[in-house]
Structure 1
Amino acid sequence: MSQAVADRQETEERQTVGGRFARLMDMGDGALAFWLLLPTAVLLLAIIVYPVCRLIYTSFLSLSLTSGLPASFAGLQNYRDMFADPVFWSSFWNTVIITVVTVPGALVVGMALALIANIPFRQRWAFRLALLVPWALPLAFCGLIFAWFFQSDYGIVNDVLRRLGLPTVIWFNSYAWATVAICLTTIWKTSSFMALIILAGLQTIPRSLYEAAEIDGAGRVRQFFEITLPLLRPAIAVALIFRTITALQTFDIPYTMTRGGPGTSTVTLAMYIRQNTVDFLDLGYGSALAVAMFALSMIVTVFYLRMIRRGA
């Protein structure tokens, strides 16, 4: 008798579990999407939203680990100090200049490399493989390599200038020449990234469009401006968003090449944030600088997204 009762209870439990599973599978699309996206939302809150909110909160505090004083609410004082800080404005404009120069430069060079890599020839695989080399190298390693290239006494660049009978340049003793060296290094490093994204976009363009254009008598230049470039706009927009954001956060290449010199003339915003938070241990002021860089990145991202939406 007890065995029959136990079997009946087990059957009822199985039916209950089965009914719950059936109800779970029969939930609507909205409920299913909610439960599927919930882990991702929690993860984003943990690794993105909370740190950003904590950063903004810290930017309103007077928190210097070298003062020995406890953290206190400072209101907008860190931001007032930031706007009155000449080094902040110098680092801000250095960052803007590097972004304005290197992003279009990397786009032009990357476009040329992608178009070459898209040409059907026998050694195309080797050329495409070579595109990965600059992109795969660490940023700090690239900075050290090009710091040696631009070294005034034994660097390759000055050696080439001597062989051509041209005057040599002391690259890192001048703000202008140091900025040129940093921008050239950054363009070399990042153009391969642009080329890979643009090459992926080129692969999606149907060959039949070019064949129809050739039948209509359109030359290669006209095909590029009327077929290739318009159809590449989504890929170019994605490449520009990523490249611009990373350019605004430039740190490794100028840090390893010039250490911000001569003086503080080539310090970027990311370098100045690192100096205040790591060297000076002023977490409140460093957080205010980081909020400024975050706001600048968001403004640029929104600008690009509006362009994409308007183009679509």
Structure 2
Amino acid sequence: MRRLYRDLSEGALAALLLLPSFLLLGFVAAYPILKLFLTSLQDLHLALGSRGEWVGLANYHQLIADARFWNSLKTTLLIALVTVPGAAVVGLVLALLANLPYAIKWPVRLGLLLPWAMPLVFSGLIFRWFFESDYGIINDWLRRLGIAPLFWLTDPTLAFWAICATIIWKTSSFVALVLLAGLQAIPREYYEAAQVDGASSAQIFLRITLPLLTPSLLVALIFRTLTALQTFDIPYAMTGGGPGNATETLAMYVRTQSIENLNLGFGSALAVVLFALSMLVTALYLRYLKGVESQ
């Protein structure tokens, strides 16, 4: 066996050593994805007794003509467009506070762990109580200020913004933790040299901190965007997709078709679209990250 290893080239030996990992990855990732795609090409509606007849792209044609699909896709993209930059800005501020050379950084660091460790559904239920129309904390504050209470979870626009605020609160701590690690990796000598040269705090942030923090920020944005596109727990816990289907995300629609309606063929087609969208966004981020690292 040792002689066999010596006779192999470095590339062949590397491939041999990585083979178990590739087989495991194929079993836990590639096979389910392939199975999902094949199911999306079948008429597999358990509630109607369908037996998985091959229908090709019929489910995708139905998907294109489905107004509920486009509404859920629009809601998903809007949530991503609002919550990803929101979490990035709030997370950056929290990371800067947690990196200060003062005692204030310790309460901030401890506070970052609470939202990050809290389950998503639990966070959604807590904020559902906050935004409750009759006895929620937010409307109680509004009454004390002499402002009429708002119907946060029954008005489509207000429900959308309540969900976005909850998601930003929940996910900004993750962004902050990633950025805090990036901040601590920046050598202190850069800041000391800038201060000797008379640079202001704003110049230090824009010329040193932000450029050197860009790779960490992009990594955080990749994960944050993926979770935003797959948002399910918080909207489901707060509104259930309502009022009507106003806050229903694509992941929630996948569940409705697959679990409630037992339409596995159409539900798989929806899941394939969600997977393709996630892969496209990831590829764009990685391409930009590669360009940043090569500079």
| TM-score, scaled relative to structure 2 | 0.97
- The residue number in structure 2 matching 1:266 is 247
Question: Contact 2:43–2:50 at 8 Å: present in 1 too?
Answer: no
Matching of residue 213 in structure 1 with residue 211 in structure 2: no
- The residue number in structure 1 matching 2:25 is 44
1:84 equivalent among 41, 60, 65? 65
The alignment-based identity, stated in percent, is 55
- The residue number in structure 2 matching 1:35 is 16
Distance in 2 (CA, whole Å) between partners of 1:292 and 1:27 is 42
Distance in 2 (CA, whole Å) between partners of 1:269 and 1:25 is 52
Q: Residues 268-283 of structure 1 correspond to what in structure 2 (within 5 A)? A: 268-283=249-264
Matching of residue 72 in structure 1 with residue 72 in structure 2: no
Report the count of equivalent residues: 293
Q: Given residue 169 of structure 1, which amino acid in structure 2 is its aligned partner?
A: L
Any unmatched runs of 5+ in structure 1? 1-19
Question: Contact 2:94–2:108 at 8 Å: present in 1 too?
Answer: no
Which runs of 4 or more aligned residues in structure 1 lie more than 6 Å from their structure 2 counterparts after TM superposition?
none
Residue 124 (structure 1) shift: 2.6
Distance in 2 (CA, whole Å) between partners of 1:69 and 1:134 is 44
- The residue number in structure 1 matching 2:219 is 238
2:159 equivalent among 167, 178, 182? 178
Q: Residues 50-199 of structure 1 correspond to what in structure 2 (within 5 A)? A: 50-199=31-180
Residue 69 (structure 1) shift: 2.8
Distance in 1 (CA, whole Å) between partners of 2:196 and 2:94 is 27
Q: Given residue 176 of structure 1, which amino acid in structure 2 is its aligned partner?
A: T
Larger radius of gyration: 1
Residue by residue, what CA displacement relative to the aligned partner does 1:27-61 show, whole Å, maximum 9, x if unpaired?
Answer: 43223211221111001100111111111111110
Q: Given residue 249 of structure 1, which amino acid in structure 2 is its aligned partner?
A: Q
Residue 311 (structure 1) shift: 1.9
Distance in 2 (CA, whole Å) between partners of 1:23 and 1:46 is 28
Matching of residue 202 in structure 1 with residue 183 in structure 2: yes
Residue by residue, what CA displacement relative to the aligned partner does 1:185-243 show, whole Å, maximum 9, x if unpaired?
Answer: 00000000000000000011011111111111111111111100000111001000000
- The residue number in structure 2 matching 1:11 is none
Residue 26 (structure 1) shift: 6.0
| TM-score, scaled relative to structure 1 | 0.92
Residue 21 (structure 1) shift: 2.8
Secondary structure in 2 matching 1:265:
coil
Distance in 2 (CA, whole Å) between partners of 1:69 and 1:98 is 35
Distance in 2 (CA, whole Å) between partners of 1:208 and 1:239 is 25
- The residue number in structure 2 matching 1:255 is 236
Distance in 1 (CA, whole Å) between partners of 2:24 and 2:209 is 39
Residue 295 (structure 1) shift: 0.8
Residue 127 (structure 1) shift: 2.2
Distance in 2 (CA, whole Å) between partners of 1:24 and 1:304 is 38
Secondary structure in 2 matching 1:66:
helix
- The residue number in structure 2 matching 1:290 is 271
Distance in 2 (CA, whole Å) between partners of 1:116 and 1:265 is 37
Residue 129 (structure 1) shift: 1.8
Any unmatched runs of 5+ in structure 2? none
Secondary structure in 1 matching 2:153:
helix
Distance in 2 (CA, whole Å) between partners of 1:65 and 1:23 is 53
Question: Contact 2:88–2:172 at 8 Å: present in 1 too?
Answer: yes
Residue 123 (structure 1) shift: 4.6
Residue 25 (structure 1) shift: 5.2
